[in-house]
Amino acid sequence: MNGTWLVTGSRGQLGRALTERLRGAGRHCLAFSHEDLDVGSEDAVQAAFDALEAPPVVVLNAAAFTHVDRCEEESERAWAVNAVAPGLLARLCSERGARFVHVSTDYVFPGDAREPYTEEDPVGPASGYGRSKLEGEERVRAVSQDFLVVRSSWLFGQGRNFPATLLGLAAERRSAAVKQALRVVDDQWGRPSYAEDLAVGILALLEADARGLYHLANTGVASWWELARFCLDESGYGDLEIERIQTADFERPAPRPTWSVLDCGKAAALGVEMRNWKDAVRAYLVSGDAPRGPVEFAR
């Protein structure tokens, strides 16, 4: 698709990956970070679109307020960014004839299943984050069923994420700066997803002219403990122990789903399938995306 592509949330993990992929493919890509464009401000979004010399051909909305616990405390902000903004962007795209892609989350599900969630399964978010993201989906689809909504899960890439935090904590313990044992929950299950792979998958869905709702994540299932153990083993920290704990032992303001495994068969039927999460983690660890020091973890 020739013309201008627009990416919101361009400094987030997925936004960075999308921007790099598009520019690497020679696309004319306008990348808006939170500092460039506050999608939670209707006036700012309207002004940004009005200032464009020509309407974009595709808008990819990777902007989101993803700090799950802060979404409970800053509900108005979460609603503005995760719920209102996607609907506004969808309307502006509809008025200008642009394709629109919105990225959502596994947190729209209640987390009490034992089989992978399909796109047709009932939703029921338990957290403010999940409720705001579900509302965003619904507002997009209310504008047009032809727009693409992609749900993913357990994202990691360049920036703040679970593997990055884990590597920082491991480095602290290796240097003896911190002696406390690592503790990771082992009763929450999902599909870890590498932002680079997700970006490729989203663009592949666009090329396949996919419309409507799709799930997209790396294949395979893991608990947070299994993901942590694999990351450490692959990073030279195999000697460090990780205590298995339960969700109930780790109190957080927002509830976490026990089960958030996504069924990605619908995308696979179009030939869009991401590699196994272990291969994706290995690729992340040898890339420039993986940090070498402590990183604050928000999710």
Q: Give the model's confidence band at 292: pLDDT under 50 very low, under 70 low, under 90 confident, else very high.
A: low
Q: Is 194 exposed, middle or buried (0-12, 13-18, 19+ CB in 10 A)?
A: buried
- pLDDT tens digit string along 9-49? 999 999 999 999 999 999 999 999 999 999 999 999 999 99
Pick the CATH number of 4-157+193-219+261-274 from 3.10.129.10, 3.40.50.720, 3.40.50.300, 3.30.420.40: 3.40.50.720
CA angle 225, 255, 233 (to 5 degrees): 10
Instruction: Please state, in angstroms and rounded to a whole number, the distance separating the CA atoms of residues 201 and 95.
Output: 27
What are the residues facing 152 on neighbouring strands?
105
Q: How far is Cα of residue 85 from the mean position of the Cα atoms in its chain?
A: 16
Domain ranges of the chain: 4-157+193-219+261-274
Output the CA angle 89-204-192, nearest 5 degrees. 85
CA nearest neighbour of 87 among 158, 23, 150, 147: 147
Q: What is the pLDDT of residue 295?
A: 41
Distance CA 290, CA 193 (A): 14
What's the confidence (pLDDT) of residue 252?
87
Q: How confident is the model at residue 179 (pLDDT cuts 50, 70, 90)?
A: confident
Q: Residues 148-165: what's their mean pLDDT?
A: 96
Residues in contact with 76: Cβ distance below 8 Å, sequence separation at least 6, in sequence order? none
Q: Closest Cα partner for 258 from 244, 246, 271? A: 246
Q: List active site positions.
A: 129
Give strand ranges (E) for the chain: 4-8, 28-32, 58-61, 99-105, 148-152, 155-156, 182-185, 189-190, 193-194, 212-215, 222-223, 242-245
Q: How many whole angstroms separate alpha carbon 204 and alpha carbon 22? A: 12
Q: Which residue has the tokens 């799709």?
A: 214
Residue 180 has pLDDT above 90, yes or no: no
- Cα gap 16→9, rounded to integer Å: 8
What average pLDDT score do residues 216-221 get?
Answer: 98
- Residue 299 is predicted with a pLDDT of 34
**Which pLDDT band, with edges at 50, 70 and 90, does 298 fall under?**
very low
| Mean pLDDT, rounded, of the chain | 94
